[in-house]
A and B are shown apart, each in its own frame.
Chain A
Amino acid sequence: EDQVTQSPEALRLQEGESSSLNCSYTVSGLRGLFWYRQDPGKGPEFLFTLYSAGEEKEKERLKATLTKKESFLHITAPKPEDSATYLCAVQRSNDYKLSFGAGTTVTVRA
């Protein structure tokens, strides 16, 4: 059974205070690791897909990295609009089901 564990559960940051979110995973045959952002009352918004260890992707203040056991989402100089729940999910190579972690809720104060 796939396992995805995200830490911390919640993160409170001051505007401009960089930090990292962790996603550790266990899956037999990884097709890809996905990061989503979810705002209250909305569906998850796709951010990144990482396919192999060592891969990195960036979008504005966000940077995602992948190793064989975990992924990190780095938030550089966050702004209040970066406040959201960030979800990590894995997809096995033999099907397309996404297995999600519980998420990290990030709050950025001005």
Chain B
Amino acid sequence: KAGVTQTPRYLIKTRGQQVTLSCSPISGHRSVSWYQQTPGQGLQFLFEYFSETQRNKGNFPGRFSGRQFSNSRSEMNVSTLELGDSALYLCASSVLGNIQYFGAGTRLSVL
């Protein structure tokens, strides 16, 4: 069974640009969650989608947004990038939301 696939693996952007990250969950999983991982703050929850609806949202500014498609694939978008947005962005999928399986992440560097 294929795991969670995140693309791209690496991204370099400049301040003020926007970026879209993609996540393909494990087949049959309907919940997709996004997390930001930084050395200073650790792993922090961004938002969770279930059957195309945002079910929960973390404490991040409105520049961070996401969506989920009917095939459960999800995208997250960060607009007006700031230096502090440099991080590893992790996607996790789950059947219902409880046990979450993570992808390898997208490493975003903002210059």
Residues of A that sit less than 8 Å from B by CB: 31-32, 34, 36, 41-46, 49, 87, 89, 91, 95-103
Contacts and interface: CB of A to CB of B under 8 A. Distances in A.
B94 A87 contact: no
Given A95-B48, A96-B94, 9 more contacts: A32-B98, A34-B99, A49-B98, A97-B56, A98-B33, A98-B43, A98-B45, A98-B92, A98-B100
Contacts of B56: 95-97
A45 B90 CA distance: 12
Interface residues on B, range: 20 to 34
Q: Is the interface of B mostly helix, strand, loop or mixed?
A: strand
Interface of B: 4, 6, 31, 33, 35, 42-45, 48, 55-56, 58, 90, 92, 94, 96-105
A100 B33 contact: no
A96 B96 CA distance: 9
A46 B43 contact: no
Given A42-B104, A43-B102, A44-B102, A97 B90 contact: no
The 4 closest A-B pairs by CB, nearest first: A96-B97, A43-B102, A100-B43, A97-B45
A89 B98 CA distance: 12
A31 B98 contact: yes
Nearest to B50: A96
Contact of A45 (B55, B94, B97, B102): B102
